[in-house]
C-alpha cells in the first residue's frame, strides 16, 4: 500500500459518518464537491509529509470483560414498533 492509500484510509476512518457517506456518494456519482476536494487536499498533504502515517485511527477501546449477551428483548424495544407492532 502506498502513502496515498494509507493517508486516505487513515483520514477516512477519522471522519464523522455523515462526511464519510457524503464523500463516498460524491465518488460514486462522479461529483466534484467541496467536501471531496477538501478531503483530497488533506490526503495529499499528509501523504507528502515525511511523517509516518498511522495505520489505524485512534478508536476508543471498550472493556467488554463484564459484558453479558442479551438473552431477551428489552421492554422499550417491544413497544417502539421494531417488532412489527
> What is the tally of structural domains in the chain?
1
Q: Which domain holds residue 39?
A: 3-47
Percent of the chain, pLDDT > 90?
Answer: 19
For residue 81, the Cα-to-chain-centroid distance in whole angstroms is 29
Q: Of 52 and 79, which is predicted with more confidence?
A: 52
The string of pLDDT tens digits covering residues 2-18 is: 899 989 989 988 888 88
pLDDT reported for residue 79: 61
Asked whether residue 39 is assigned to any structural domain, the reply reads yes
- The 3-state secondary structure of 4-65, one letter per residue: HHHHHHHHHHHCCHHHHHHHHHHHHHCCCCHHHHHHHHHHHHHHCCCCCCCCCCCCCCCCCC
Asked whether residue 33 is assigned to any structural domain, the reply reads yes
pLDDT band (50, 70, 90) for residue 55 = confident
Please give the mean pLDDT across all residues of the chain.
79
Asked whether residue 82 is assigned to any structural domain, the reply reads no
Q: Of 63 and 82, which is predicted with more confidence?
A: 63
13 neighbors 24 (Cβ within 8 angstroms): no
Amino acid at each position: 500500500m502506498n502513502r496515498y492509500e494509507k493517508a486516505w484510509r487513515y483520514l477516512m476512518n477519522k471522519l464523522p459518518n455523515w462526511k464519510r457517506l457524503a464523500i463516498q456518494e460524491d465518488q460514486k456519482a462522479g461529483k466534484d464537491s467541496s467536501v471531496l476536494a477538501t478531503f483530497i487536499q488533506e490526503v495529499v498533504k499528509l501523504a507528502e509529509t515525511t511523517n509516518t502515517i498511522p495505520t489505524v485511527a485512534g478508536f476508543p477501546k471498550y472493556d467488554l470483560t463484564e459484558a453479558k449477551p442479551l438473552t431477551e428483548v428489552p421492554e422499550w424495544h417491544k413497544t417502539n414498533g421494531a417488532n412489527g407492532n
